[in-house]
Structure 1
Amino acid sequence: MNWEQLLSLKRFGDTHKRLRKEQDETRLGFEVDYDRIIFSSEFRSLQDKTQVVPLSQTDFVHTRLTHSLEVSVVGRSIGRNVGQKVLEKHPHLKKVHGFRANDFGAIVAAASLAHDIGNPPFGHSGEKAIGEFFKTGFGNQFKEQLTAKQYQDLCDFEGNANGFKILTESRAGREGGLRLSYATLGAFTKYPKESLPKKPTKHIADKKYGFFQSEKEAFKDVANELGLIPTGTNEHISFSRHPLAYLVEAADDICYTIIDFEDGINLGLIQEEFALEYLINLVRHTINTKKYQLLSNTQDRLSYLRALAINTLINEAANNFMANEELILQGKFSKAIMDVSTYEAQIKDIIKVSVENIYQSSEVIEKEIAGYEVINQLLKSFTVAITNRYQGKPSSYDQLILRLLPNSFENLDDNLYTNLLNVCNHVAQLSDSNAILTYKKLKGTYL
């Protein structure tokens, strides 16, 4: 892979190349991507979606929206850091093509901002709930009517693939979705493969999948423009990662490691003295002991250690990327950037505490159980109504249910897979509160 192609400014529908040296510096194409994402309705719904603790009533616990904003800030810093080093190593990118260090930061920031845009309500349990509906629940009946890959898309419903669908899907008046640059779409796709085969290698890019069957051709177009390396065999489609996807992943890893831990402390799920010691171990070489000892409350101590920790890991991520840049461009770097960090042991210690005290806490588990029930009921009601209409035999009740769906469902596709996937996409775009409200309407408890 080469950086000239990887930094493509092309957008869906373009007939001519967009050259970097011809860009308006006051409104750069990569920065337009960020604006389009942040003003989208799909992004706004993240303000009421779970990051760690579902349906939290406290002000200081992160939602998907605050998490995404923080990841974009960290991603921008890592990207600019890497951009400066890449331009020093490959000076022709600046001299001949006009690229700047900030371009790398803008791409990573935009992709980071969108990285959770396809995630369902109720956190990662939302993805699992949708999958279980088709694997073992009511949706299992559709298995024989779908191809293996179509059925796998539903059984392993993936927020990353749904995000790519949201960003690129055309609809009336909005051809090409948000019409982001291909560079940003490439950086967004951490897992550039289909749902099958599952985890064919130990490469980090094969851990999950990044696009549904409905967006396969769209992703192939993006991959070909960017010059991503094909890695699939026979009829299976997969590619090497866009190098900047490693930085998006690193920004996410840094934020959820540090910020989720901070949420656990603020919620009282992790003891302050115990937790602060873990953070101090991460920043021991940069901490100003005198300044730290002057801080008199938990919030200030946490803020200080968080800032130090994130700054430390940003520099670490950028250095690790450049140390492995040649392997990354060859598609041969098989681990996440933070998995080769010199702070790997400290990071693993923090994540272990978070898993035991936050992710597996009774508060989280009880609300995830409720989320399973909500999503299962929504999917069942909508799929029954949709399939009955698809078969030309909707009941009066089905007609009422269909009115709860967006106008885009009025002209149903004649493809069962498309209809089922669109139901999943609709449910996934609901906020936590809206999902619960719709559930109450269906149960008749809203009156």
Structure 2
Amino acid sequence: MNWEQLLSLKRFGDTNKRLRKEQDETRLGFEVDYDRVIFSSEFRSLQDKTQVIPLSQTDFVHTRLTHSLEVSVVGRTLGRKAGQRLIEKYPHLQTVHGYQPNDFGAIVAAAALAHDIGNPPFGHSGEKAIGEFFKTGDGHMYKSELTEKEYQDLCDFEGNANGLKILTESRVGREGGLRLSYATLGAFMKYPKESLPKKPTKHIADKKYGFFQSEKKAFEDLVEELGLIKRGQNNDLSYSRHPLAFLVEAADDICYTIIDFEDGINLGLIPEEFALEYLINLVRDSIQTKKYHQLKTTQDRVSYLRALAINTLINEAVDVFMENEAKILKDSFGMALLDKSKYEAQINDIISISVNNIYLSKEVVDKEIMGYRVINTLLQTYVGAINKAFSGTASNYDKLILKSIAGKVDVNEESLYKRLLNVCSYVASLSDSQAILNYKKIEGLNI
């Protein structure tokens, strides 16, 4: 891979090449990507989607929206720091092509901002609930009518793949989706492969999948423009990661490791003394002990440690990235940046505490149970109605259900796979509260 291709400013539908040196510095193409994501309705819905604690009523617990904003801020710094060092290593990127260090920051920030845009309500349990509907629920009946890869898309419904669908899917008046630059779309794709085969290697890019069969052509166009390296065997589509995807992943890893831990302490799920015990190994070189002891509240003390820890991990991630940049360009680096970090043990300790005290807490488990019931009911109702309407057997009730989602799901789509996937994407687009409201209407409960 080479950086000239990887930094492509091309957008869907472009007929002429976009050159960096011809860009308006006050309205840079990569910065436009950020604006298009943040003004999208899909991004706004993240304000009412679970990050860790479902439907939390407290002020300081993160939603998908606040998490995404924070990941984008960390990603911007990661990109700028890496960009500065890449320009020093490849000066022609600046002198010949006009790229600046901040371009890298803008790409990573935009991709990081969008990284959760395809996630369903109720956190990762929402993805699992959609998959279970097709593995063991009513959706299993459609298996024989779908290709193996189409069925796998549904059984392992993936927020990353749904995100690419949102960002690239054409609809009336919005050709090419949000029309982001190919560089940003490449950085967005942490798992540039299709749903099968599952985990063919231990390479980090094979951990999950990144596009549905419905976006296959868009994916092929994208990887060709960016010059990504083919990894899949025979007809299986799998490609190397865009190098900046490693930085997007690192930004996410840094935020959920440190900030979920902070949320747990502020909620009282993790004792405050754990903060100093587990974070001190990350911040011992930068902490000002006197300042720390002057802070009066738990929230302020933990916030101070969090800021120092994030800064430490940002610098560490950039160092690991640059040390392995040549391998990354050859697709011979197969792990997350923080997995190569000298702080790996400390990070794993923090994650372990978060798993036991937050992710498996009674509050989270109880809300996830409710989420399964809500999502299963919505899929059962919408899938049944849309398929009966397509076959001409819809009841009056089915017709009423379809009126409630009119304009959001294409009832006349001829492909069964696309009808099923479009229903899943619609359910995934709902906020936690809207999903519960729709469920209550269907169940006839007081609202």
Calculate the TM-score normalised by the size of structure 2.
0.99
Cα deviation 1:38-88 (Å, max 9, x = unaligned)? 000000000000000101010100000000000000000000000000000
Per the TM alignment, residue 276 of structure 1 is displaced from its structure 2 partner at its CA by: 2.6
Per the TM alignment, residue 410 of structure 1 is displaced from its structure 2 partner at its CA by: 4.8
Matches within 5 A, 1:369-380: 369-380=369-380
Per the TM alignment, residue 273 of structure 1 is displaced from its structure 2 partner at its CA by: 1.1
Q: Give the counterpart letter for 2:101 in structure 1.
A: A
Per the TM alignment, residue 274 of structure 1 is displaced from its structure 2 partner at its CA by: 2.1
Query: What is the CA–CA distance in structure 2 between the aligned matches of 1:409 and 1:35, rounded to whole Å?
Result: 26
Q: Give the counterpart letter for 1:240 in structure 2.
A: S
Aligned to 2:135: 135
Aligned to 1:102: 102
Q: Identity of aligned pairs, percent? A: 74
Matches within 5 A, 1:30-429: 30-429=30-429
Equivalent residues of 1:437, 1:446 under 8 A apart: no
Per the TM alignment, residue 406 of structure 1 is displaced from its structure 2 partner at its CA by: 3.8
Query: What is the CA–CA distance in structure 2 between the aligned matches of 1:229 and 1:390, rounded to whole Å?
Result: 41
Matches within 5 A, 1:11-30: 11-30=11-30
* Helix, strand or coil at the partner of 1:403: helix
Query: What is the CA–CA distance in structure 1 between the aligned matches of 2:406 and 2:111, rounded to whole Å?
Result: 27
Query: What is the CA–CA distance in structure 1 between the aligned matches of 2:5 and 2:311, rounded to whole Å?
Result: 30
Per the TM alignment, residue 408 of structure 1 is displaced from its structure 2 partner at its CA by: 4.2
Query: What is the CA–CA distance in structure 2 between the aligned matches of 1:444 and 1:25, rounded to whole Å?
Result: 55
Divergent runs of 4+, >2 A: 408-411
Query: What is the CA–CA distance in structure 2 between the aligned matches of 1:392 and 1:218, rounded to whole Å?
Result: 32
Q: Give the counterpart letter for 1:289 in structure 2.
A: T
* Helix, strand or coil at the partner of 2:173: coil
Query: What is the CA–CA distance in structure 1 between the aligned matches of 2:57 and 2:99, rounded to whole Å?
Result: 45
| Paired positions, count | 447
Further displaced range: 372-381 or 389-398: 389-398
* Helix, strand or coil at the partner of 2:171: coil
Per the TM alignment, residue 411 of structure 1 is displaced from its structure 2 partner at its CA by: 4.9
Per the TM alignment, residue 17 of structure 1 is displaced from its structure 2 partner at its CA by: 0.3
Q: Give the counterpart letter for 1:217 in structure 2.
A: K
Query: What is the CA–CA distance in structure 2 between the aligned matches of 1:166 and 1:412, rounded to whole Å?
Result: 20
* Helix, strand or coil at the partner of 2:93: helix
Query: What is the CA–CA distance in structure 2 between the aligned matches of 1:272 and 1:363, rounded to whole Å?
Result: 20
Equivalent residues of 2:275, 2:302 under 8 A apart: no
Q: Give the counterpart letter for 1:243 in structure 2.
A: P
Further displaced range: 290-299 or 263-272: 290-299
Per the TM alignment, residue 393 of structure 1 is displaced from its structure 2 partner at its CA by: 1.1
Further displaced range: 300-309 or 190-199: 300-309
Query: What is the CA–CA distance in structure 2 between the aligned matches of 1:147 and 1:76, rounded to whole Å?
Result: 40
* Helix, strand or coil at the partner of 1:174: coil
Query: What is the CA–CA distance in structure 2 between the aligned matches of 1:102 and 1:156, rounded to whole Å?
Result: 36
Q: Give the counterpart letter for 1:165 in structure 2.
A: K
Query: What is the CA–CA distance in structure 1 between the aligned matches of 2:345 and 2:114, rounded to whole Å?
Result: 29
Q: Which runs of 5+ in 1 are unaligned?
A: none
* Helix, strand or coil at the partner of 2:194: coil
Q: Which runs of 5+ in 2 are unaligned?
A: none
